[in-house]
Amino acid sequence: MNIVGARIDGRLVHGQVANLWIPMLSVDRVIVIDDKVAVSDIEKSGIRMATPSKVRLSVLDVERAARQLKADRYASQRVLLVAKRPGVYVDLVKAGFPLEELNVGNMSQTPTTTQVTNSINVEEADVAAFDELDAAGVHLVAQMVPQKKGEEFMELLEGKVNR
């Protein structure tokens, strides 16, 4: 398996991902994993426009992504996984996908979220998912852009939310 990165970003593919993460990781394919986006032609079209032209794009629901990743379908490519919320990665890990590290990027603020950093806001379900990923041995790193040093996400989460 040649997964060069896994990222949470509420905006999926946008300027930071397209112009900073994709070149830095030498990505050949971006796999966006989102059940709702996978069935929305309008959202898929927007993501296609934001993805650099030389990079392949797949927009998959969680079940199909897990199946294709486990089958090592993208073995010859350098793949970046992107999802909006951590629960997607919990589902992948439960399906047998070996996730070693997860980059926690932008998670937008809503009336139901708690702020962890200026750019990361979590709901109760997110906290439970992060705890589950941490317990499964996934290294969680908060890092908006490659030029900034990553921070230990679980340390940032500590004291910000009730568990």
CATH number at residue 97: 3.40.35.10
DSSP 8-state class, residue 135: H
Average pLDDT in the chain? 96
Give this prediction's pTM: 0.95
Q: Confirm whether 53 is domain-assigned.
A: yes
How far is residue 74 CA from its own chain's centroid? Answer: 17
Q: pLDDT of 120-152, one tens digit each?
A: 999 999 999 999 999 999 999 999 999 999 999
**Which ranges in 79-120 belong to alpha helices (H)?**
87-94
**Domain extent for 97:** 3-157
For residue 104, the tally of other CB atoms under 10 A from its CB is 28
Tell me how many domains the chain contains.
1
Q: Per-residue pLDDT for 38 more than 70?
A: yes
Q: Confirm whether 48 is domain-assigned.
A: yes
Tell me the catalytic residues: 14
Q: Per-residue pLDDT for 65 more than 70?
A: yes
- Report helix, strand or coil for 162: coil
Q: Confirm whether 140 is domain-assigned.
A: yes
